[in-house]
Structure 1
Amino acid sequence: MKIVEVANVESSPNPHGVDARKIYDTENAVAVHMTLKPGESLKKHITPVDVFFYVLEGNGIVEIGDEKKNVVKNTLIESPAKIPHCWYNEDKKDLRILIVKVPRPMKSTKVI
């Protein structure tokens, strides 16, 4: 059994400059724990594979394609491959999200 504690995983450098910790990485999938501090956002980007997001804590705004929605804790959001998307934390508290990419991407994410 492998157990990973998020606090023990170092944040990976990323083009968004946010706290993103890869907590699962196999040949089949990747999972990242991301924290957006109040006022932080991601740059709009395209992922080459399907992604789903699960909001662990906080409230945020997710933009996928032409849709923009406010989402809250315990919400799952699907983001199809090759569709531009981004996140915004306009709240006064941290926004923590679990990001799962399936299948594991063979190409890099592209910032727009």
Structure 2
Amino acid sequence: MKIVQVKDVSSKPNPHGVDARSISDTESAQVVHITLQPGESLKKHITPVDVIFYVLEGVGVVEIGEEKAVAGADTLIESPAKIPHRWMNESNSVTRILVVKTPRPREATRLL
């Protein structure tokens, strides 16, 4: 058994400039914990694999392709591979999102 505490994993520099912590990276999937402070957002990008987002805390605006929605805690959002997407925190509180990429990407995410 492997147990990971998010607080024990360091955030890595990323092109979005947000707190992103890789908490699992196996042959079959990647799991990243993202924290968006008020006013922070991810840059629009394309991921080469399917992505599942699960909002852990707060409220964020998710944009996938031409669709945009407000998503709060305990909401799961599916984002198909190769569709532009991003998250924005337009609230006054922290938004935390669990990101699951499956299968594990073999090529890099592309910023738009």
| Structure 1 equivalent of residue 107 of structure 2 | 107
| Structure 1 equivalent of residue 43 of structure 2 | 43
> Partners of 1:103 and 1:12 in 2: how far apart?
21
1:65 equivalent to 2:65? Answer yes
> Partners of 2:26 and 2:13 in 1: how far apart?
19
Aligned-pair identity in percent equals 67
| Structure 1 equivalent of residue 27 of structure 2 | 27
Gaps of 5+ in 2: none
Q: Deviations over 1:29-86 (max 9, x none)?
A: 0000000000000100000000000000000100000000001100000000000000
| Structure 2 equivalent of residue 8 of structure 1 | 8
Q: CA deviation at 1:12?
A: 1.2
> Partners of 2:71 and 2:50 in 1: how far apart?
19
1:76 equivalent to 2:82? Answer no
> Partners of 2:24 and 2:13 in 1: how far apart?
16
| Structure 2 equivalent of residue 54 of structure 1 | 54
> Partners of 2:36 and 2:26 in 1: how far apart?
25
CA-based RMSD of the aligned residues comes to: 0.3
> Partners of 2:33 and 2:22 in 1: how far apart?
6
Partner-residue secondary structure (3-state), 1:40 = coil
1:95 equivalent to 2:95? Answer yes
With normalisation by structure 2, the TM-score equals 0.99
With normalisation by structure 1, the TM-score equals 0.99
Gaps of 5+ in 1: none
Segments of 4+ in structure 1 off by > 4 A? none
The count of corresponding residues between Structure 1 and Structure 2 is 112
Partner-residue secondary structure (3-state), 1:82 = coil
Q: CA deviation at 1:102?
A: 0.2
> Partners of 1:12 and 1:22 in 2: how far apart?
8
Partner-residue secondary structure (3-state), 2:7 = helix
